[in-house]
A and B are shown apart, each in its own frame.
Chain A
């Protein structure tokens, strides 16, 4: 008998009586100022929130936030600061010198600052991790309150990949001291557009 059947048989024999699956309320919060809340959360998670009025100003605000970055990639079509066309890269190892990645995300969750990006928007999965710095761009109308609402609207790439990114890469493994920039992004700015 295969291990698969042995495990499944053991579960059949040992599992308890079927218990009901609970309903999950949406837990919406209609009174909260979501942008103000997000702003506070961003500082807790080690990121920065910048509100901008439209996409036209994006290049200048990115340049101001990240001056003197040499190798810049983006998933935004014809983004003027781009110096490395990530679409032309085949082997993700060739992204290793990326200084800054500018990524348009699908939506952001106010309660925890998490931006959802799926594989098609990442171009390469490695883009989000191998870069030294990261700028995320989300439309103001794509701001939801909590994770329940987030899962209601997201569509998982199947097959594929998607990730909630909440702030830069960080660690507190040495005496609980927070260090920003563990393996991936050393900083993260979220630009909220509109």
Chain B
């Protein structure tokens, strides 16, 4: 399903759409307050962007350095070209130790690789332990946001879900009560898991370790109890030095939720005594994106979600309408590189207002890249028929000034007398929830000729 059709379904419930919009704008406002409290904020963004650009320009060497140092720390390093290989590696590690239950903290990469269904098919129980992730897992949905996976759900929905799955009281919807129920339920799983899997926020070449950031402490509780820790990371998570974390940890949580830092920023440089630690380095299309001059910068992304919270389209269409693991503006520049045909509507799910680029902590030119994908999609004939025809007509019109003027005049005259029901007919998508302003008496050109051109 393309984005406009999926968004239309989301928009059917107007009150919920408005609630969703406001919930995300609240997070965006918290981000603003937090960012403004730091005088050097813009300088930090610049430095972060430059560190990422540098790391990408020397990525092969940094990966080798990282691997070497990680091995010295007693970590087993694996490499996976795609999602399938990643999943097979995870399974082989778990199978070797006859793991029956795996606790997982948030990892968009494993969502991208569809790890959970793969492992479940092999008979391994997978428990997502981030509260939001657990909520969407129990309701058999993908996350709708990369930082707040269940942001599309109201507390009453979650109350009902927990009543059915965890046996909480019917009708209960108090967040404190529901979170406590999840705590008890998940603690049992933490205590009985045979292995844990985490994502990676940053991997440090110089030290051969990875950093994982959470507020709940779920990644650490899992890792510090289970005898196996698997950390899955995309190749772009690499930064050269530990000192660079100073920059990124100042930016990440402030951009994501407005917090000064997450509750826990854990630096894993090896297994705990008596345990094993594995890192899986995954490509899955990233090296291809690295080769695209116009889109390479999208690999700077540190997955803060700020572009989603600020996006007027995301806020009013919901994360699921994008149909891709990473929704919102950043997802709309990552997904076409994966499958241009399948995701051809996503770069159009934007007003090109540029707010995403303004809030991005690593200065990805998101709206410029959206525009560039549009041009590629048009060239590759992946535009829908109606849009193609409209573009053709508009192109013809704009290159024939006389015809453009006549059409404008006719349009102004017609609009005055045509009833609204006709103007906002089903063919006028723009008019679905908007009214046209009253037509002006004259065009700008007429006004200019009359008032500004010396006779």
Contact = CB atoms under 8 A, between A and B. Distances in A.
Say if A and B assemble together: yes
A171 B60 contact: no
Of the candidates A18, A124, A158, the one having the most CB atoms from chain B within 10 angstroms of its own CB is A158
Given A93-B225, A166-B260, A173-B132, A184 B216 contact: yes
Of the candidates B43, B129, B179, B272, the one having the most CB atoms from chain A within 10 angstroms of its own CB is B179
Contacts of B153: 175
B279 interface: no
Nearest to B262: A166
Given A157-B269, A183-B190, A24 B246 contact: yes
Interface residues of A, number: 73
B183 A147 contact: no
B59 interface: yes
A156 B293 CA distance: 36
A19 to B, nearest CB: 5
Given A15-B59, A152-B243, A173-B132, A183 B267 contact: no
A97 B261 CA distance: 28
A20 B224 contact: no
Contacts of B64: 8
A96 interface: yes
Contacts of B245: 147, 151
Contact of B57 (A7, A18, A130): A18
Interface string A141-161: 000001110111000111111
Interface in B377-432: none
B263 A45 contact: yes
Contact of B63 (A11, A44, A185): A11
A56 to B, nearest CB: 30
Given A24-B246, A174-B175, A156 B135 contact: no
Interface stretch (A61-69, A73-81, A111-119): A111-119
A171 B183 CA distance: 11
Contacts of B290: 10-11, 14-15
Nearest to A186: B183
Nearest to B244: A24
A125 B179 CA distance: 24
Given A125-B272, A173-B131, A20 B79 contact: no
A157 B80 CA distance: 28
Given A167-B263, A181-B183, A130 B270 contact: no
Contact of A21 (B50, B190, B257, B272): B50
Interface stretch (B207-215, B349-357, B435-443): B207-215
Q: Is the interface of B mostly helix, strand, loop or mixed?
A: helix
Contacts of B27: 176
A146 B54 CA distance: 24
Interface in A116-138: 119, 124-126, 128-130
A96 B187 CA distance: 9
Interface in B170-228: 175-176, 178-180, 183, 186-187, 190-191, 207-209, 215-218, 220-221, 223-225
Q: Is the interface of A mostly helix, strand, loop or mixed?
A: loop
B296 interface: yes
A18 to B, nearest CB: 5
A159 B63 contact: no
Interface residues of B, number: 95
Contacts of A11: 59-60, 63, 235, 287, 290
A7 B221 contact: no
A35 interface: no
Contacts of A55: none
Interface string B130-167: 11100100000000000011110111001000000000
Given A10-B287, A19-B54, A176 B26 contact: yes
Contact of A7 (B46, B72, B158, B235): B235
A4 B71 CA distance: 15
A125 B75 CA distance: 17
B312 to A, nearest CB: 19
A171 to B, nearest CB: 5
A27 B265 CA distance: 21
Interface string A75-101: 000000000000000001100100000
B260 A113 contact: yes
A27 B40 contact: yes
B261 A24 contact: no
A92 B245 CA distance: 29
20 contacts: A8-B63, A11-B59, A11-B63, A18-B54, A24-B247, A92-B225, A125-B223, A128-B224, A147-B246, A148-B247, A156-B269, A158-B69, A159-B271, A161-B272, A163-B220, A170-B216, A173-B179, A175-B154, A176-B27, A184-B217
- 4 closest pairs, A vs B, by CB? A159-B270, A14-B291, A112-B260, A173-B132
